[in-house]
């Protein structure tokens, strides 16, 4: 009886050792750091953020220059969402407007604040430096202000991050890639002027 018990213990011990070795091999085969998180609704696919998902502290490279996103205006017009990022390189501050079109993938617009006064309701057409802009579309959006958005008058002063405001907007187009955007914040207007650019020429490094 003793030798039978000894054989059983030997067999059971050998099986346990094999199981431990197999588990250790499977553990070592797993990638370090754990599995990356999936974005909601992505199924089994990992999704990278694009320009339409620009956030504060992202770095954007345009024409060989690196710009830091210091502020974001997130627009929402009855479910249609787009973004405006305030990008800064030293004293150079510009805006990248992405997704304002209601259809299609949307073309980014690389724009600067134009020093001009708007009095009364914006016209159907206007001429700036011999470029004639005609009204393309307009609307009213609810906007969330994040980070340092600058250039919006006094809206951001003494207000918490992610503060929400209403904005009326008018988008103008011109022959070629020229583009003009007028926004009304409260009683103040701001004018953004620039050009459409190819998203494929823009690189983004997520800050978080």
Q: pLDDT band at 61, cuts 50/70/90?
A: very high
Phi, psi of 16 (to 5 degrees): -65, -40
Say yes or no: 10 and 55 in one domain: no
Say yes or no: 113 and 200 in one domain: yes
| CA 112/CA 202 separation, integer angstroms | 17
Range of the domain at 113: 51-205
pLDDT at residue 208 in the model: 67
Say yes or no: 148 and 184 in one domain: yes
Cβ atoms of 153 and 165 within 8 Å: the answer is no
| Position 41 in a domain | no
| CA 169/CA 143 separation, integer angstroms | 11
- Reference 110, options 122, 95, 124; nearest CA is 95
Q: Would you tell me how many other CB atoms lie within 10 Å of the CB of residue 85?
A: 29
Has residue 73 got a pLDDT over 90?
yes
Contacts of 79 (CB under 8 A, 6+ apart): none
pLDDT at residue 160 in the model: 80
In this prediction, residues 13-37 reach a mean pLDDT of 39
Say yes or no: 90 and 185 in one domain: yes
| Position 43 in a domain | no
Say yes or no: 3 and 74 in one domain: no
Contacts of 29 (CB under 8 A, 6+ apart): none
**151-189 pLDDT, tens per residue?**
776 676 677 888 899 999 999 999 999 999 999 998 899
Has residue 26 got a pLDDT over 80?
no
Say yes or no: 18 and 74 in one domain: no
| CA 179/CA 109 separation, integer angstroms | 7
For the chain, the average pLDDT equals 80
Q: Which of 8-12, 32-36, 129-133 has the lowest mean pLDDT?
A: 32-36
pLDDT at residue 47 in the model: 53
Q: Would you tell me how many other CB atoms lie within 10 Å of the CB of residue 70?
A: 17
Contacts of 106 (CB under 8 A, 6+ apart): 52, 82, 98, 99, 100
Has residue 149 got a pLDDT over 80?
yes
pLDDT at residue 52 in the model: 87
pLDDT at residue 207 in the model: 87
Reading the block at residue 75, the tokens are 């627009």
Reading the block at residue 71, the tokens are 């502020």
pTM above 0.85, yes or no: no
| Position 82 in a domain | yes
| CA 27/CA 20 separation, integer angstroms | 11
Say yes or no: 20 and 68 in one domain: no
| Position 196 in a domain | yes
| Position 45 in a domain | no
Q: How many domains does the chain have?
A: 2
Reading the block at residue 119, the tokens are 């009095």
Has residue 45 got a pLDDT over 50?
no
Q: pLDDT band at 18, cuts 50/70/90?
A: very low
Say yes or no: 178 and 89 in one domain: yes
| CA 156/CA 77 separation, integer angstroms | 21
């Amino acid at each position: 009886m003793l030798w039978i018990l000894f054989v059983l213990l030997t067999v059971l011990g050998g099986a346990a050792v094999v199981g431990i070795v197999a588990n250790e091999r499977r553990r070592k085969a797993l990638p370090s750091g754990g599995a990356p998180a999936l974005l909601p609704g992505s199924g089994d696919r990992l999704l990278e953020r694009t320009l339409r998902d620009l956030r504060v502290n992202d770095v954007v490279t345009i024409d060989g220059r690196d710009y830091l996103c210091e502020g974001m205006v997130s627009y929402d017009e009855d479910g249609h969402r787009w973004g405006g990022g305030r990008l800064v390189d030293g004293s150079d501050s510009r805006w990248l407007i992405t997704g304002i079109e209601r259809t299609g993938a949307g073309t980014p617009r690389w724009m600067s604040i134009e020093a001009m006064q708007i009095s009364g309701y914006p016209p159907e057409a206007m001429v700036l430096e011999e470029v004639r802009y005609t009204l393309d579309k307009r609307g009213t959006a609810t906007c969330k202000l994040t980070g340092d958005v600058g250039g919006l008058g006094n809206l951001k002063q003494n207000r918490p991050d992610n503060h929400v405001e209403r904005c009326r907007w008018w988008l103008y187009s011109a022959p070629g890639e020229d583009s003009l955007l007028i926004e009304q914040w409260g009683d103040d207007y701001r004018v953004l002027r620039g050009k459409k650019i190819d998203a494929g020429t823009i690189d983004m490094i997520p800050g978080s």
